[in-house]
Amino acid sequence: MMNAIRGRSTAPKGRGRTGRSATRSSDSSLIIVANRLPIHRVGHGSKAHWQSSAGGLVTAVAPVMQSTPGVWVGWAGGDAKIRPFQHDGMRIRPVHLKRSDVEHYYNGMSNKTIWPLFHDAIRAPEFRRDWWESYVEVNHQFSRAAIAEASDDDMVWVHDYHLLLAPAMIRKARPRLRIGLFLHIPFPPEELFEWLPWRTQILRGMLGADVVGFQTTGAAQNFTRLCKAYCDATAHGTTLTHAGGATAARAFPISIDFDWFDQRARSAETVRRVSELRNRVGKERKIILSVDRLDYTKGINSRMDAFEELLDRGLSSVADCVMIQIATPSRDGVADYATLRDDVEKRVGRINGRFGYPGRVAVHYFRRNLSRDDLVAYYAAADVMLVTPLRDGMNLVAKEYAACRSDNSGVLVLSQFAGAAREMGRALIVNPRDTDQFVKTIDTALRMRRRDAQTRMSSLRSRVKAHDVFAWCDGFMSALRG
């Protein structure tokens, strides 16, 4: 189905490796099950309407769903009860969450337990039984909605850490369905995963899928080791055999719509905006850019510290460079995020207080969502891009930046702890906790000769172009078909 986007073969195959599936008919649908819908409500009263949402998962899957007969099951945000409806050629089936579930399932178990634990416990995860109970109940709710939408020939694709129990729940009601699960975030090693009081239930929930996809091979290997230890699974290559059948556990590194970014970056409108932006910050200054969700995993504070030290040590000056940090507000209901925001804003104030002068600030900081076109203009204007998370499943920003460097200019500084570093080894790879190395790497990026930068960027762009979001989808879907 997904292949149709590029006009390649769309014929589904017959019985899968796991032996669970029968032949799919050519008009079988794809049911996406994800915490959030790909759209959100804006405006009030008669002016209210649905608009596409920003964010990693949505960015990756929405273009594919638009050309696929299918259904998207997800939470609309808020607590309104909304009936299923059509949007932009896609059936939307909203799941209603009670306020207590938003607090326990979403803010609690998903974002204060699993998210920090799966990101190297950068913040201490909390373990609460009432959050877990809500997580189980909400996973049932999503599963019931998927089951109601699916016929036996359809395929279900569950996304991410909010819904790790759903594959087994759906499997129980519909043993013949092909079910896939893709985890967008890292999957931790045993030493961390074992902290979870519900570790076996979660592994069994995931094993309900025919295919479990991860961002990296390392994550798939962590999962495999844990399934052997806790679920009596045996592994042959990437296939796990267990009491419920067989599950393929593999890496499918997610990507972006390279051509869209490349073309937008080349457009006359972007060229005009880049020149306007450069004039505004000072043509002679190099632009250092960062774009993140305001999240403690993204390493914004250590990045600010490295930039401050770069200026402090006189390796560069505000006359020569400017940092632009664009941060999307995120997870307002979780206290750690409010603290992070305060910390980041204090640092921005301190750096500007120390190094700015009239007409020249050191850091431009924007806490808001930008349109895709605005984002492209910033990517196309930036001489150096800092993508330096402390831990990240993949990080699409790194790939978007490469896609926007149509003339092969620009230097990407990339954390070794982003999944993207596995594919983008020609970036300047950095350990964001090593301030000394970080400062030196920014300095190297600012001074890199044009020809060196072009060689590196050209290789990064080839990689992302060849492995774009459509290749990712094709890869996952053909594994799911068996």
The one segment of 55-63, 80-88, 223-231, 445-453 that binds ligand ADQ by CB under 6 A = 55-63
**421 touches ligand ADQ (CB under 6 A):** no
Q: By C-beta, is 233 or 394 nearer to ligand ADQ?
A: 394
Q: Where are the alpha helices (DSSP H) in 183-324?
A: 190-193, 199-206, 217-230, 258-266, 268-281, 300-312
Say which DSSP state 152 is in: T
Angstrom distance (rounded) from CA 142 to CA 444: 49
For residues 139 and 206, is the Cβ–Cβ distance under 8 A? no
Angle of helix 300-312 relative to helix 435-447, nearest 10 degrees, comes to 70
The stretch near ligand ADQ (CB under 6 A) out of 40-48, 312-320, 392-400, 429-437 is 392-400
Q: Is 139 in the site for ligand ADQ (CB under 6 A)?
A: no
**Which window, 187-195, 353-361, 388-396, 474-482, contacts ligand ADQ (CB under 6 A)?**
388-396
Q: How far apart are CA 94 and CA 89, in angstroms?
A: 16
Minimum distance of ligand ADQ from residue 404's CB (angstroms): 11
Give yes or no for residue 56 binding ligand ADQ (CB under 6 A): yes
Task: Find out whether 197 and 132 touch, Cβ atoms under 8 Å.
Answer: yes
**What are the CA-CA distances from residue 440 to residues 288, 418, 428, 431 (Å)?**
14, 20, 11, 11
Site for ligand ADQ in 3-22 (CB under 6 A): none
Return the residues of window 322-341 that contact ligand ADQ according to CB under 6 A: 326, 328
Is residue 53 involved in binding ligand ADQ (CB under 6 A)? Answer: no
> Residue 441: which of 415, 405, 410, 422 has the closest Cα?
415
- Distance, first Cα to last Cα, the chain: 14
Separation CA 186–CA 251 (nearest Å) = 11
- Our finding on whether 117 is near ligand ADQ (CB under 6 A) is no
The site that binds ligand ADQ (CB under 6 A) totals a number of residues, namely 23
Kindly state the smallest distance separating residue 56's Cβ from ligand ADQ, in Å. 3
* Both structure tokens of 244: 């419920």
Shortest Å, Cβ 387 to ligand ADQ: 8
DSSP 3-state of 356 = coil
Of 163 and 375, the one with the shorter C-beta distance to ligand ADQ is 375
Q: How far apart are CA 256 and CA 469, in angstroms?
A: 5
CB atoms near residue 291 (< 10 Å) = 24
Nearest distance in Å: CB 185, ligand ADQ: 5
Distance in angstroms (rounded) separating the CA atoms of residues 482 and 260: 30
Tokens of 227: 């399934």
Question: Angle, nearest 10°, between helix axes 396-403 and 56-66?
Answer: 60
**Residue 185 binds ligand ADQ, judged by CB under 6 A:** yes
Cβ neighbours, 10 Å, residue 133? 13
Choice between 30 and 397, CB closer to ligand ADQ: 397
Is position 55 an interface residue for ligand ADQ (rule: CB under 6 A)? yes
* Identity of the residue, 185 or 209, whose beta carbon is nearer to ligand ADQ in the bound complex: 185
Q: Tell whether residue 393 is a contact of ligand ADQ (CB under 6 A).
A: yes
394 is an interface residue for ligand ADQ by CB under 6 A: yes
Q: In the bound complex, what is the minimum distance in angstroms from residue 365's beta carbon to ligand ADQ?
A: 11
Rounded CA separation 166/156 (Å):
10
471 binds ligand ADQ (CB under 6 A): no
Per CB under 6 A, which region of 44-52, 90-98, 195-203, 396-404 contacts ligand ADQ? 396-404
Spatial distance between the Cα atoms of 22 and 127, rounded to a whole number of angstroms: 40
Using the contact rule CB under 6 A, the part of the chain among 188-196, 233-241, 390-398, 462-470 near ligand ADQ is 390-398
Residues 398-417, mask of contacts with ligand ADQ (x by CB under 6 A): --x-----------------
- Which of residues 221 and 330 has its CB atom nearest to ligand ADQ in the complex? 330
375, 402, 460, 480: which one contacts ligand ADQ (CB under 6 A)?
Answer: 375
Rounded to whole angstroms, how far apart are CA atoms 184 and 268?
Answer: 34
Positions in the binding site for ligand ADQ (CB under 6 A): 54-57, 59-60, 184-185, 254, 291, 293, 326, 328, 369-370, 375, 392-397, 400
